[in-house]
Amino acid sequence: MTRIPPRTRNVRILATLGPASDSPEMIRRLYLAGADAFRINLSHGAHEDHAARIAAIRALEREFGRPSTILGDLQGPKLRVGAFADGLAMLETGNAFVLDRDDAPGDSRRVNLPHPEIYEALVPDARLLLDDGKMVLRVKSVTEDRIETIVEVGGALSNRKGVNVPDVVVPVPALTDKDRRDLSFAMQQGMDWIALSFVQRPEDLAEARKLMGGYGALMAKIEKPSAVQRLAEIIEMADGVMVARGDLGVELPPQSVPPLQKQIVETARRLGRPVVVATQMLESMIKAPTPTRAEVSDVATAVYDGADAIMLSAETAAGDWPEEAVAMMDSIAHSVERDPGYLARLHFTQTAPDPTTADALAEAAAGIVPVVDATVITCFTSSGSTVRRVARERPGAPILALTPRQDTARRMGLLWGVHAVRTKDIGHFEEMVGKARRMALRHHLTTKGRKIVVLAGVPFGTPGSTNVLHVATVRGDELKGRE
């Protein structure tokens, strides 16, 4: 086993795997370049291909002695038009266009739309966006099998292009049959996070929760305007949230997305849920070895806002420069976090503690760090909830999470500032203090003579029992002890 020092940045980098990053060699290079966690996009590819990627990620865990984190991203319900007689049709601005339940091939006047849920939900004057918003239809009338529209923005519409319905909540199930199969596969393979796509309301999370049965952690992807209307409820129901800016930008005016991003990040932080900012962060690096200055600024903004993780999509999944994209994101994050005003900006968001002992101690731990110049907050945890509470405070020192559970250690790979270590549980107070000092030294998070903050729960090993806060001084001879 080759031990490497922990990351020195707080924000985490989530890299999507795909054809450009299939090989174990490339996955290892992405990890060494700065990727903290990996996204498996279950919309594409066969299960056997995904299983090979997962095996390569877990091999890194064994090689470097650090928990690896995998997010499985479910496709969600995809709404699409049918086929055209000539493969595509030109929709002229100002012309009438009909969507109906007829299976016959379409033309420039009509096409099949095989989704009864849309007919049920639509009302006159609602919009239909086709092919990622490239074309816009305005509904004039709707029946149970026919939607009459006027083309507001025309273009060439080809077979089975996507349909977005931004102005109403479409009563489609959150999980398709494919999603259920993919979820079963993800659980069998031991993925740590499951991302649910196209969440519209809190109830959409219920079926996934039931199928998961307490397994792993569930992330809600916010990519529908309807989700924003019930944002706090959705975030409270989830274990984490993703700002999926690509689809948000299809259904909303582009200028609406930046303030929404800040609203989602702020709400997630206030509610103590990890938040990932995703999509098109370094888009030009799909084809170019360097990003635009605007993209660099975009990534920096997400870091300044206090996102737990920032995500690369096509840049690492299908781009020409996957390793360079990760290294660039790592470099941007380091640059932001070296800014003397970085931590002050993070605390623009108020994260008032809940009236619990654990929240009170988490807030106190963050407050103690600057007062005693502590180098690390060491948390003993079983479920990871204590660590999540401390991370919400965005303290001025890294968080060393010590847990006996491998699944808990892996899930914490998307939490801001957390370095997770799987280790044996503790049995008494003196062992707690000794192990906290020893592990902080072993993982290069402190040095002789420095102070550390320790959080734990008594009785030890009991989930949700955090009730001890202790400040200890590192002597320097702790490494002679056992792990």
pLDDT for 246 equals: 87
**Inter-helix orientation angle 24-33/322-337, to 10°:** 20
pLDDT for 210 equals: 94
9 is catalytic: no
pLDDT for 141 equals: 97
- Which is more confident, 398 or 353? 398
**CATH of residue 460:** 3.40.1380.20
Q: Mention every residue, 6+ apart, whose C-beta is less than 8 A from residue 53.
A: 17, 22, 27, 38, 40
Alpha carbons 250 and 247: distance in angstroms, whole number = 5
**Poorest-pLDDT segment among 114-128, 396-410, 457-471:** 457-471
pLDDT for 482 equals: 53
| Contact in structure between 234 and 202 (CB atoms under 8 Å) | yes
What pLDDT digit, counting tens, does each position of 369-380 carry? 999 999 999 999
221 is catalytic: yes
- Is residue 103 a part of any domain in this protein? yes
pLDDT at 459 over 80: no
> Annotated catalytic residue: which of 80, 101, 138, 405?
80
Alpha helices in 241-392, H assignment, sequence order:
245-251, 257-270, 293-304, 314-317, 322-337, 342-346, 357-372, 385-392
Alpha carbons 29 and 20: distance in angstroms, whole number = 12
| Contact in structure between 407 and 239 (CB atoms under 8 Å) | no
Under the banding of pLDDT at 50, 70 and 90, the label for residue 322 is: very high
Judge if 297 and 179 occupy the same domain.
yes
Judge if 51 and 100 occupy the same domain.
no
**CATH of residue 209:** 3.20.20.60
- Is residue 436 a part of any domain in this protein? yes
Judge if 138 and 232 occupy the same domain.
no
What pLDDT digit, counting tens, does each position of 263-291 carry? 999 999 999 999 999 999 999 999 999 99
pLDDT for 46 equals: 95
Judge if 262 and 200 occupy the same domain.
yes
- Is residue 347 a part of any domain in this protein? no
- Is residue 181 a part of any domain in this protein? yes
- Four-residue CA torsion sign, 288, 290, 292, 298: positive
Judge if 207 and 103 occupy the same domain.
no
Residue range(s) defining the domain that contains residue 96? 88-164
| Among candidate residues 114, 132, 164, the one where a domain is terminated | 164
Judge if 329 and 200 occupy the same domain.
yes
| Contact in structure between 130 and 162 (CB atoms under 8 Å) | yes
Judge if 66 and 96 occupy the same domain.
no
Judge if 158 and 196 occupy the same domain.
no
pLDDT at 209 over 70: yes
What pLDDT digit, counting tens, does each position of 212-250 carry? 999 989 999 999 888 999 999 999 999 999 999 988 889
Judge if 155 and 180 occupy the same domain.
no
> Annotated catalytic residue: which of 221, 273, 394, 450?
221
| Among candidate residues 113, 137, 164, the one where a domain is terminated | 164
pLDDT at 107 over 90: yes
pLDDT for 458 equals: 79
Q: Compute φ and ψ for 161, nearest 5 degrees.
A: -75, 155
Judge if 108 and 147 occupy the same domain.
yes
For range 24-49, the mean pLDDT: 96
> Annotated catalytic residue: which of 9, 39, 392, 442?
39
Residues of the chain with pLDDT > 70, as a percent, come to 98
Residues of the chain with pLDDT > 90, as a percent, come to 85
Closest-CA residue to 78 (of 125, 25, 115, 120): 115
Judge if 364 and 383 occupy the same domain.
yes
pLDDT at 426 over 90: no
- Four-residue CA torsion sign, 461, 465, 466, 468: negative
Judge if 294 and 373 occupy the same domain.
no
**CATH of residue 109:** 2.40.33.10
Neighbours of 34 (CB within 10 A): 21
Task: Give the chain's domain count.
Answer: 3
375 is catalytic: no
Average pLDDT, the chain: 94
pLDDT for 6 equals: 82
Alpha carbons 359 and 270: distance in angstroms, whole number = 12
Under the banding of pLDDT at 50, 70 and 90, the label for residue 464 is: low
For range 148-166, the mean pLDDT: 96
> Annotated catalytic residue: which of 149, 267, 279, 375?
279
What is the strand order of the sheet 127-130 is part of? 110-112, 96-100, 146-153, 135-142, 127-130, 163-164
| Among candidate residues 118, 135, 164, the one where a domain is terminated | 164
- Is residue 157 a part of any domain in this protein? yes
- Is residue 3 a part of any domain in this protein? no
pLDDT at 483 over 60: no
pTM (2 d.p.): 0.92
pLDDT for 414 equals: 98
345 is catalytic: no
- Is residue 423 a part of any domain in this protein? yes
- Is residue 349 a part of any domain in this protein? no
